[in-house]
C-alpha cells in the first residue's frame, strides 16, 4: 500500500449524478458516518487508478454555491474548507455537473472553483445530452474555466475511464493544478452569473431545440408581470374546465346508478335490506362517485403541468410572495401537492431543512383546497349558484375558482401570523433547477391519471362506504317513528345542534358533519342517505340537489361551504401531522385553530348573507 492516499471531494448540485458516479468509482463499497455535531451523513469510498494510486472519494451533500441555505449545504461547505472536526480539507474536488444543464450548473462551478482547491470538472450524463442533440466544445470550456474537463457516463465503466485516466495523468505531473483562491463578495454573484452565461454561449456549439424554446418561453412565463398573469389564467382555466367538461360525464354516471337502482329495486321488497342497499349503498356511494369526472379533470391538469415543467415555474413565481409572508420558498411544492390531498403535501414538507419553516408549512397545508372538498363544493354550487354566463365565463366556475383562492389567501395569512409568533425565525430563499419544457409521456400520464382515479374510487368503496353504512345504522335505528330525530344519529345531532345554531346549520347538516371527519366526501353521501331515509328524495332520480334547494336557504348553503373551506382535515391527515411533527401539541393546535376558523367563517358568512337578504 502506498504511503499516502489522495482525498477527493465529490461536489455538485443535487440530481447531477454524484451518487451514481460515487458508486461506480468505489464499486458501491463505502463506509457511512455522521459529520461531527450533526445528523448529516457522508459516504467515503476508495478506488485504485490504473497506475496503482489509491484515491479516497468523499460524497458530500449537494450544493448550489457558497451560500449555505440548509444544514446539508453548511456541512458540505465546512468540509470543503476543512472546518469539520475529523474531516480534513480535500486534496482536490471533482465538480460534477449535468451536461444537459450546463447553463445552470456553470454558476455553481465558478463559485466552488474560487475555494482554491485543485479541480476536475466532470460533465456527467454526456451520452444523454448528446442523444438529445447537445454539442459542446470541451477544449474551449477547459480554456475558459482554466481547469480540466472530462465528459463521463457514470453508469458504465467505460464512461468513467476517462476520469480515472485524467486523475492518473495529473498525479504523474507531480501535483494537481490549483486555481487561485478568491473571496467572493455578495455583489460578485451577479457577475458570476453573467460570466457563466457568457461561457455557456461560447462552448455550446449546438443545443436541442427544446432548450432554445424553453429560454424563449421563460422570457414570458417568468416575467415579473406577464408570469403571474399567465399563472392566474392557467388556474382560472382549470376551474372553468372542471365544470364545463365534466357535466355530460356526471349525467352519465348518475343515469347509470339510477338504472342500477330501478333494476334491482323490484327484487328487494320492503324492509331494512331494501333500505340498506338502496339508501345506504347505492344512494350513499353513488352520490360521491358521480363526482369522479371532475376529480379526473382536475388531476389531468395537475399531472400535465407537473410533467411539462410548468409547475416548477409556478413555484419560482410564487417564491417572492411566500418569502414576504415568512414561508420558505421550498414550501410551494408541498402546498401545491396539498391541492390533491393534504397527506402527501404534509409528507413532502420533509424536504424543508429549517424546522420552523417545515412546521409552518405543515400547519397551513390543510387550508389548500384538496380534491376531497370538490364534491362538497360542486354539489352546493350546482344547487345554489345558477349556471349562467358572466361574459365568456361560467358563473359556477368563477365561484369554484374563488373558493380555491380563498384557501390560498387564508394559508398565506395564517403562515404570516405563525412566522411572527409560534414559529418565529429566519427564512430561506428557494433554490431549484427549472427543467426544460416537454410534452408528458403519454403512457406515464395515463397511468398517473388512472392511479388517481382508482385512489378516489377505492376511497369511495372503503372509507366512504364504511362511514355511510355506519351512518345508515345510526340514522335507521332504534326507529322510534320520529324520523331522523328518533335515531341514534338524530340524538347525537340534537346534542351538537345548539352549538351550530348560530351558524345556521340544521339537524341534517350537523349529522352530516360527523362522518365528514372520516372523509370530507362522506358529507355528501351522508346528506343523500339522511334525506332519502326521511323520504324527501326521489330515490329513482337521485335528486339530492332538488331536495337541498328546498330544504336549505342560500345563507345556510354558503355557511356550509365556508365550514369546509377551513374545517379540520380527515382523521388520516391529523394522524399524518402527528407522525411528521412527532408532537401532539402541534396536532391539537392544528385541529383547534382550524375548527375556530371554520366556525368563525361559517358564522360570518351566514349572518352577512342573511343581512344582505340573500
80-89, 411-420, 503-512, range with the lowest pLDDT: 80-89
- CA distances for 64 relative to 23, 96, 411, 430, 481, angstroms: 22, 11, 29, 11, 71
Query: For the residues of 367-426, what is the DSSP string, one character each?
Result: GS--GGGHHHHHHHHHHHS---EETTEEHHHHHHHHHHHHHHHHHHHHHHHHTTTTT-S-
Per DSSP, the three-state class of 134 is coil
Inform me whether the pLDDT recorded for 348 exceeds 80.
Answer: no
- CA distances for 368 relative to 66, 322, 363, 532, angstroms: 34, 14, 11, 32
Interior angle at CA 471, CA 465 and CA 477, nearest 5: 135
Inform me whether the pLDDT recorded for 536 exceeds 70.
Answer: no
pLDDT in tens, 211-246: 778 888 888 988 888 988 898 888 778 767 776 787
119 - beta bridge partners? Answer: 93
Query: For the residues of 163-186, what is the DSSP string, one character each?
Result: HHHHHHHHHHTSS---PPP----T
Interior angle at CA 45, CA 40 and CA 46, nearest 5: 155
Write down the mean pLDDT value for the chain. 79
> Residue written as cell 469510498?
45
Which grid cell is 194?
Answer: 453573467
150-164, 223-237, 284-298, range with the lowest pLDDT: 284-298
Cα separation, 399 vs 381, whole angstroms: 8
What integer pLDDT is reported at residue 284 of this predicted model?
63
Q: Which CATH number fits domain 6-207: 3.40.50.2300, 3.40.800.10, 3.90.1300.10, 3.40.50.300?
A: 3.40.50.300
Per-residue pLDDT band at 563 (split at 50, 70, 90): very high
What integer pLDDT is reported at residue 187 of this predicted model?
54
What integer pLDDT is reported at residue 558 of this predicted model?
92
pLDDT in tens, 34-74: 444 444 567 788 888 888 888 888 888 888 777 766 667 77
Per-residue pLDDT band at 610 (split at 50, 70, 90): very high
Cα separation, 17 vs 152, whole angstroms: 10
Per-residue pLDDT band at 601 (split at 50, 70, 90): very high
Cα separation, 153 vs 492, whole angstroms: 66
243 - beta bridge partners? Answer: none
What integer pLDDT is reported at residue 529 of this predicted model?
73
Cα separation, 134 vs 157, whole angstroms: 22
Inform me whether the pLDDT recorded for 473 exceeds 90.
Answer: no
Amino acid at each position: 500500500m502506498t504511503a499516502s492516499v489522495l482525498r477527493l471531494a465529490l461536489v455538485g448540485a443535487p440530481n447531477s449524478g454524484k451518487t451514481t458516479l460515487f458508486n461506480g468509482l468505489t464499486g458501491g463499497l463505502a463506509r457511512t458516518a455522521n459529520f461531527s455535531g450533526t445528523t448529516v451523513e457522508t459516504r467515503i469510498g476508495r478506488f485504485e487508478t490504473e497506475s496503482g494510486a489509491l484515491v479516497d472519494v468523499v460524497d458530500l451533500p449537494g450544493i448550489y454555491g457558497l451560500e449555505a441555505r440548509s444544514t446539508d449545504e453548511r456541512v458540505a461547505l465546512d468540509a470543503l474548507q476543512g472546518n469539520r472536526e475529523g474531516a480534513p480539507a480535500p486534496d482536490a474536488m471533482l465538480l460534477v455537473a449535468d451536461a444537459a444543464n450546463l447553463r445552470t450548473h456553470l454558476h455553481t462551478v465558478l463559485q466552488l472553483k474560487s475555494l482554491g482547491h485543485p479541480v476536475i470538472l466532470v460533465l456527467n450524463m454526456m451520452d444523454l445530452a448528446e442523444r438529445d442533440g447537445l454539442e459542446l466544445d470541451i477544449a474551449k470550456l477547459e480554456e475558459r474555466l482554466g481547469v480540466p474537463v472530462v465528459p463521463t457516463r457514470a453508469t458504465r465503466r467505460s464512461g468513467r475511464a476517462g476520469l480515472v485516466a485524467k486523475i492518473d495523468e495529473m498525479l504523474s505531473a507531480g501535483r494537481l493544478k490549483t486555481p487561485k483562491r478568491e473571496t467572493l463578495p455578495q455583489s460578485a454573484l451577479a457577475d458570476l452569473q453573467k460570466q457563466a452565461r457568457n461561457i455557456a454561449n461560447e462552448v455550446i456549439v449546438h443545443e436541442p431545440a427544446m432548450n432554445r424554446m424553453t429560454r424563449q418561453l421563460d422570457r414570458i412565463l417568468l416575467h415579473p408581470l406577464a408570469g403571474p398573469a399567465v399563472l392566474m389564467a392557467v388556474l382560472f382555466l382549470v376551474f372553468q374546465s372542471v365544470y364545463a367538461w365534466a357535466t355530460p360525464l356526471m349525467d352519465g354516471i348518475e343515469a347509470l346508478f339510477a338504472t342500477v337502482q330501478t333494476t334491482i329495486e323490484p327484487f328487494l321488497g320492503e324492509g331494512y335490506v331494501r333500505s340498506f342497499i338502496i339508501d345506504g349503498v347505492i344512494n350513499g356511494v353513488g352520490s360521491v362517485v358521480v363526482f369522479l369526472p371532475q376529480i379526473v379533470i382536475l388531476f389531468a391538469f395537475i399531472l400535465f403541468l407537473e410533467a411539462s415543467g410548468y409547475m416548477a415555474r409556478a413555484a419560482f413565481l410564487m417564491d417572492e410572495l411566500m418569502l414576504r409572508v415568512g414561508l420558505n420558498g421550498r414550501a410551494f411544492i408541498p402546498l401545491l401537492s396539498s391541492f390533491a390531498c393534504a397527506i402527501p403535501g404534509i409528507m413532502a414538507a420533509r424536504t424543508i431543512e429549517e424546522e420552523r419553516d417545515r412546521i409552518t408549512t405543515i400547519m397551513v397545508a390543510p387550508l389548500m383546497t384538496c380534491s376531497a372538498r370538490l364534491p362538497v363544493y360542486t354539489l352546493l354550487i350546482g344547487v345554489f349558484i345558477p349556471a349562467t354566463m358572466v361574459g365568456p365565463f361560467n358563473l359556477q366556475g368563477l365561484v369554484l375558482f374563488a373558493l380555491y383562492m380563498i384557501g390560498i389567501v387564508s394559508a398565506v395569512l395564517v403562515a404570516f401570523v405563525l412566522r411572527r409568533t409560534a414559529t418565529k425565525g429566519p427564512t430561506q430563499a428557494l433554490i431549484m433547477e427549472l427543467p426544460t419544457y416537454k410534452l408528458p409521456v403519454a403512457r406515464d400520464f395515463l397511468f398517473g391519471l388512472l392511479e388517481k382515479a382508482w385512489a378516489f374510487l377505492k376511497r369511495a368503496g372503503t372509507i366512504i362506504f364504511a362511514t355511510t353504512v355506519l351512518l345508515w345504522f345510526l340514522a335507521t335505528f332504534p326507529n322510534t317513528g320520529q324520523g331522523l330525530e328518533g335515531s341514534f344519529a338524530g340524538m347525537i345531532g340534537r346534542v351538537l345542534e345548539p352549538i351550530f345554531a348560530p351558524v345556521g346549520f340544521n339537524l341534517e347538516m350537523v349529522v352530516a358533519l360527523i362522518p365528514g371527519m372520516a372523509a370530507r366526501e362522506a358529507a355528501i353521501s351522508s346528506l343523500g342517505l339522511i334525506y332519502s331515509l326521511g323520504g324527501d328524495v326521489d330515490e329513482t332520480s337521485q335528486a339530492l340537489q332538488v331536495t337541498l334547494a328546498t330544504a336549505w336557504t342560500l345563507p345556510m348553503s354558503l355557511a356550509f361551504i365556508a365550514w369546509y373551506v377551513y374545517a379540520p382535515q380527515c382523521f388520516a391527515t391529523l394522524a399524518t401531522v402527528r407522525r411528521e411533527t412527532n408532537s401532539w401539541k402541534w396536532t391539537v393546535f392544528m385541529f383547534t385553530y382550524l375548527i375556530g376558523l371554520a366556525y368563525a367563517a361559517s358564522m360570518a358568512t351566514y349572518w352577512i348573507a342573511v343581512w344582505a337578504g340573500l
